[in-house]
Structures are given as C-alpha cells and as structure tokens.
Amino acid sequence: MNIPKIPLGEWVDSFVAWLTIALGGLFTFITNVIDGLLDIIVNVLSVGPPVVLILILTLLVTYTSRWPLGVFTLISLLLIDNLGYWDSSIQTLAIVLLSGLLTIVIGVPLGIWCSQRKTVQSIVTPILDFMQTMPAFVYLIPSILFFGIGVVPGIIASFIFAIAPTIRMTNLGIQKVPNDLIEAANAFGSSTSQRLFKVQLPLATPTIMAGINQSIMLALSMVVTASLVGAPGLGADVYRAVSQIDVGQGFEAGLSIVFIAIVLDRITQNLRNPAYRHAVKPKIAFSILALLIVVTAIVVTIFEGKGAVNGDANGIGAQVDYEIVGIEPGAGLMELTNTALKDYELDDWTLLEGSSAAMVAQLQKAITNQEPIIITGWSPHWMFSSFDLKYLDDPKGSFGGAEDIHTVVRKGLEQDAPGAYRILDQFSWEPSDMEVVMVDITDGMDPSEAAEKWINANPDKVSEWTKGAQSGNGERIKLVYVAWDTEIASTNVIGKVLEQNGYKVTLSQVEVGPMFAGVANGSADAMVGAWLPTTHAEYYNTYKNDIVDLGRNLHGTKNGLVVPEYVDIDSVEDLK
C-alpha cells in the first residue's frame, strides 16, 4: 500500500513537548511532593539499626499471618541485611509503599465512582485496558520528560502500571453487593452516602483489599524497570548485575526482592482479618502502629531540618542538588566517574544511574529551560552537534585520554565466514562520519535508512572495507551492540554493508556485559563497539582469551563530565 505514514509519533512528541512546557509548574510541584514523601518514608524506615525494622515487620507478619511466617520474615530480613542489601531494600520498600499509597488514594475513589456511574465506567474501562496492555517501559519515556531522571518517574510509572487492579476490584466489589441488601438499605431510608459507607464498602472490602494487594505486587514488579530512569533500590542492583554479567549479585538482589514480595503479600492479604485478632484487637494493634509511624515521621523531619547543611545556595552543587546524571550502571564511563568523584574528593555528590536515553532526555529538558545540569558524556555523540556543550577540564586525568573503538569477533568466524571477517577487519571510519549517521537517526530517520544513506554517500570508504572480501552466500551474521547512539550508528552501517555483500545479518541490542559474553561464547558473531583501553577494560580483560580483537575501527573518542556552555564552570575542580 502506498498510503503515506500517519505521523502519529510526531503528534505524540509535539503533545508531550507542549505538556512539558504548559504544565511545567504542576510537574515540578508533583516532583517535590513525591520526593518529600519518599524522603519521609525512607527516613522512618531507616530509624535506628536494621534490627529495629526487622523486629517490627516480624511482629506485624506474625500478628497478621501466624508465627511460621513471622519466623520466615525474621530469617529472610536478617539474610538481606547480611548480604548487604538492606539500604537497597529500604529504598525499594519505600518506593513500593508510596506507589501503593498513591494507588489507594486515587484508585479506590475512582473505583467507587465507576460503580456509581455507568458513564464513568464506560470511559474508564478502555483506559484501564490500554494502561494494562501498554508495555511498562513506554510509561518511562514521558515520565522522564515530565519529572526528570531519578526516583519520581519510576514511582509515577509504577503507579500507572499498578493502579488498574485497585480500580477494577473496587468497582467489582461494590457492584457484587447483593441487591436485596441494597433494597433493604433503601427501605430504611438510607441516603446514597449512607448506603455506600454503611453497606456497600464494608461488604466489598475483601475484594477491594485483593485489588490493592495485586497493585502492590505489580508496583514491586516495576522496581527493575524503574531503575532504567535512575530509581534506586534492589532494581538498580539487579540492573547492575545484568549489565555486568554478575550472576551472584543478580541472584542475591533478586532473592531480596522475592523476600520483600512475600512479606508485603502476606501482610496485605491478612490485614483485614489478622491471625491473632482475638489476642489483640486490630483497632488497637494498627492504632499503635500508626501512632508509632506518625511520631517517628515528625521527630525525623524535625531533626533532619535542624541537621541540614548550610552550603552555598548559589553554587553549582546546590543548583543541581549535588547530582551528576549518569547512564547504564555497567558502563565503564560510570566507573570512571566514580573514580573522579574520589580523586577530586567530591563526597557530597551523587552519580545517578539510569540509561543513555534517560540522560539525553534530562539534558534536553534542562537546556530547554536553561537550567544547570552535569552529565556523563562521551564523544562522538550527536548531542555535541545538536547542543552547545563543553567538557569539564580533568587536571587529574581521572577520565584518561582519548580512546579507540575496536571491532571484536568470535573465534572461528574467519573460517566460517571469511568474507564477513575481512569486511569487519577492514571496517574503519572517522568520528565525523559517525556523527552524520547519528544526527540523521536523532532527527527521526530509521537507523537502517540512515546507514544506507551514509553508505550511498561514501562509496569510496565502503569499497575500502570490502576490498578483497569474497561475497557471502546467505550465511547468518549476528551483530550485538549496546543502545548507545554511537553503537547504533556503527552497527547499522557495518550490518548494511555485510547485507549488501551477501550475508544475512541480525542486529541484537544488549547490555555491555552480555555483548562481550555473547561474542565470547559464540552466540554472537561480532561487535564494533568495544571502547578500549579504559571504558570496557573490565569486560575485555575477562573475555580476552575467548575473543578475537581486530583492532580499532575509530580513533579519537573522549569521556568526561559535560555541561551546557551557559553553565559557568570549566573544570571538575569547580564542583568542590
């Protein structure tokens, strides 16, 4: 069909851009409120040594679900503390609790409204269908633009993803109240509110609680996804383990999530009918717990305010909340940045983990609003062509000098596909070539089309890569790459060249660790994105005996801290 493509994506982009500007004040207010609430929850959960919270949760689980589960809770939480994931668990628990609180505050009233108005139900139901079927990752994209990088977009995305069961089950529970009871209430002259609060809600409570339980579990399932935009906690630990192919760390962090899920599930399932309600009345037990939480929150808030450090409010640190926006936790650039923080004694600064896309989104938002921002940057990258940026001087050399990008292939490729091996071996281009492809992709062109456009415009360079290489006969070549703009550009270009020379090419996007591991174990044939000798040194040293390094395909890369030109600092030392 020759029907022109409907520019739906462009319309959505324009709408989101308009919302970001038009409702910027509202988004800032929501961000501040959520950040404040999260800080309070974290501070309350962190009061005293870990054993204090462990004992409280153990008693709560025992009261609601009997002593065997209480013993399990005690052992599992002590194990989490022993493994070193207690602080991450506190962050995760706080995120889930806040997401659950938002779900209850907004979801239950919406569910009640749906049960009382058929028109509202008809409108809300398809929206909930859309929310539940849309991939959770999609919610992160506008969340970054609206709320920036960090924990807030993660909480918002978790809330959107998890709210549907609460609304549906609240609506269902109220509608399933027997009609004869409704008629009896009406016969006694009950008003609408009396009928709702005295008859319908009490009878629907078990169903509503089941919906809240499911929402909390869904929110917990989002913790790993939320780590892509900088949300802390166990999700970030799992993401870091995946990036670094650290099986042990991944298992430990994943097991900690399982323990927390079990504890939360048992508490919420039995909250209405505690196992030992005959020994201690629920009203008394939960009133004591609520009073303890409120008093602790007040005391912690007061002492935190008194203990605040009076720094330079006009300094760059205060302007950016002492945060540096980073990328994937497994990236070598992140390790270099952590080294720089130690070298320059920047103890008050925090390096936010997330993703390259989240970092760029935050940069674009800051530049649009002319706000200060510090990011981890590298070149070549299209952002240097699109924005007026500068590297901060690195007098201590923490980020090293210029690097090269190498082509790495699996052992045996030369014998299995000699033509492809030769093309990959002869592949070499300049940063300026790569930036042309990156800019086209950033402007909306499909990566494959951008690669083909560059190939057609540079036949002489391509002929140097294919010189003396025999054509393929449909042999399959699998290329792996990290979702960095540089690697998307280079992998698509070399992939298109291989296709034009008779090979059937598959491109697979992975994290850094799996990229090296895939080539080393033969599940992938090649990659053209190994940054050496610094950024990917750890992975290269781990797998160097199982891979073939064909040498550099690009020279002149650079790593460091990057700021917009309008930010009035010039060196990493200015961050002190």
What confidence tens digit (pLDDT) does each residue in 5-29 have? 788 878 887 888 788 888 888 888 9
The backbone torsions φ and ψ at residue 433, rounded to the nearest 5 degrees and listed phi first, read: -65, -45
Could you write out the three-class secondary structure of 434-471?
A: HHHHHHHHHCCCCHHHHHHHHHHHCHHHHHHHHCCCCC
Burial class (CB in 10 A: 0-12, 13-18, 19+), 227: buried
Q: What is the pLDDT of residue 1?
A: 54
Residue corresponding to tokens 């409108």? 123
Burial class (CB in 10 A: 0-12, 13-18, 19+), 363: buried
Q: What is the pLDDT of residue 230?
A: 77
Would you say the C-alpha torsion 58, 60, 62, 68 has a positive or negative sign?
A: negative
pTM: 0.77
SS3 559: strand
What distance lies between CA 568 and its chain's CA centroid? 30
- pLDDT of the chain along its 576 residues, tens only? 567 878 887 888 788 878 888 888 888 899 889 988 998 999 999 988 999 999 999 999 999 999 999 999 999 999 999 999 999 999 999 999 999 999 999 999 999 999 999 999 999 999 998 888 888 777 777 887 788 777 888 888 888 889 999 999 999 999 999 988 888 888 888 888 888 888 999 999 999 999 999 999 988 888 888 887 778 889 888 888 887 778 899 999 999 999 999 999 999 888 888 999 888 898 899 999 899 989 988 888 887 665 554 455 568 998 998 999 998 876 778 889 999 999 999 998 999 888 888 888 889 888 988 999 999 998 888 888 889 999 999 999 999 877 899 999 999 999 999 999 999 999 999 988 998 999 898 888 999 999 999 999 999 999 999 999 999 999 999 999 988 889 999 999 999 999 999 999 999 998 888 999 999 999 999 999 999 888 888 899 999 999 999 999 999 888 899 999 999 999 999 998
Cβ proximity of 562 and 375 under 8 Å: yes
Q: What is the pLDDT of residue 302?
A: 81
Cis amide prior to 514 (ω within 30 degrees): no
Give, for 509, the enclosing helix (H) or strand (E): strand 504-510
Longest Cα separation, the chain: 94
Give, for 554, the enclosing helix (H) or strand (E): strand 547-564
SS3 553: strand
Instruction: For residue 380, count other CB atoms closer than 10 A to its CB.
Output: 25
Give, for 563, the enclosing helix (H) or strand (E): strand 547-564
The backbone torsions φ and ψ at residue 379, rounded to the nearest 5 degrees and listed phi first, read: -135, 145
**Cβ contacts of residue 232 below 8 Å, gap of 6+?**
88, 91, 151
CA–CA distances in Å: residue 387 to residues 98, 328, 376: 36, 22, 15
Q: What is the DSSP string of 372-424?
A: ---EEEEES-THHHHS-EEEPB-TT-TT-S-EEEEEEEETTHHHH-HHHHHHH
Q: What is the pLDDT of residue 141?
A: 75
Dist CA 196 CA 474 (whole Å): 69
Q: What is the DSSP string of 284-326?
A: HHHHHHHHHHHHHHHHHHHHHHHT-----TTSHHHHTTTEEE-
- Residue positions counted in the chain: 576
Structure token digits, residue 70: 């209480």
